[in-house]
Chain A
Amino acid sequence: MIQIVDLYKSFGEKKVLKGLNLDIQKGETVVVIGQSGSGKSVLIKHMIGIVKPDKGEIFIDGTEICCLSEDEFYKLRRRFGMLFQGAALFDSLTVGENVAFGLERYGDYSEDEKQKIVKESLALVGLKDIEELMPYELSGGMKKRVGLARAIAYRPEIILYDEPSTGIDPIRADAINDLIIRMNEEMGVTSVVITHDMVSAYKIADRIAMLYEGRIIEEGTPEEIKGSKNAIVQQFIHGQAEGPIKEW
């Protein structure tokens, strides 16, 4: 479904991605792990066209996305939902307006339908009766969940999660994991998840890919990753300061 071929990206002199390759199949959940600043967020922003590659190709269902017209890109983005690392809620809009934002642009819903979907989406992430609140009135964890409700409201086919459990208490984080699994099983959503939380990664992933120095150095099922012979992977998944990864 998503095929990334030989992707390069630099910001100034900092080379973030150096020939990255990754295939994601329809309906699977791929978790990308890696150190902070290793380029995981940059990678998923390439998939939705927010960041343009310096070199390399990204195919969605066989179509190379770099050459799409504005209208074609709009249709493509309709298929994606994205949860941002810091939630990225619009400060000037209420929670309800935030969640309805994608519905207004990607669908033709009546006001009643919109309100119903907003309530349902908020309920899915364990929130209710907060539609009239402004983002600054929410805690960090609530913002994250509203961001998730916004990303799933228009029922996209592919959801990109940038650290979905960061800033959320362990019980809520596990509920988010269950939601990701449910979306995957019941609606056939394809998920790409970035996380440092290995408990979460093992629970939700069909496959885990480790990003290190701009490339995917290992990928496999959670069991395969646990049993990896790669010392870098072992150091990361066990969270050890000592090992081949010296820069942190």
Chain B
Amino acid sequence: MIGIGPLGRLVLIGLPFVWLALFFLFPLLIVLKISLAESVVGIPPYTPLITTDGGGLELRATLANFALLANDDLYLRAYLGSLRNAALATALCLLIGYPIAYAIARTKGTRRQFLLFLVMMPFWTSFLIRVYAWIAILKPNGLLNAFLTALGLITVPLPLLNNGFSVELGLVYSYLPFMILPLYGSLSVLDESLFEAAADLGARPSRAFLGVTLPLTLPGIAAGSLLVLIPAIGEFVIPDLLGGPDTLMIGKVLWDEFFNNRDWPVAAAVTVVLVAVLAVPIIVAQKFLQRERAA
């Protein structure tokens, strides 16, 4: 930057860099270290990786926690359950979000600003409260069942809460704005004359959409999908509040392992595998986030 010396530059870059290295990158290494330790009763509840007990340094690492993850199919089912729920939520967000983003991009002036404000407002309101709001609607004696009963459509309350349906609904509801904004971003810069050219050349609207609009908005689709998929895979609040006994998602398994079983090494191993699974999507998502910044 103009007019600042090497020292200023060192502080400017160094301060946030050191902070992030210390409080984001370094902790991930500690998780890896503790995933190789054994669980013990004590404070802290795991064995040290390097001991000096036998005189001289001794490395005590075990892969037992990872062996447990591989052998107990609870973990595999939880990882797969998370992937399935998150992938379905991503697809539904895309289906619901695309028409909304499209409609916003075709709105003009201050009305468009207002609609964007409405999409962004949920970012600012409490995630916990927004998930909680669904409990009153979905529970057996809740609003939706009362409404359907009053209409005479049902006589016995439908099981809407604490099952796969409510978890999926919660995921779609919570992450929809994360899909709409990147979609809007790529739709709003779309050159409309391309669509019109396709129409002039005789393409029907559906054909012009599939052949022109959709491919040109692929970056927005990819960015939105990753912004929904990645956090949804590790989601804890939604499966905990809206899920039931048969809801298996890895974020909740991790939480229970840590807070209820107090097995820190296994919780760390679950995290290591989760980071490994998410590493590629996170790096790809970053490319999109960066490109969006540059644009």
Decide whether A and B are members of one complex: no
Interface residues of B, Cβ cutoff 8 Å to A: none
Interface residues of A, Cβ cutoff 8 Å to B: none
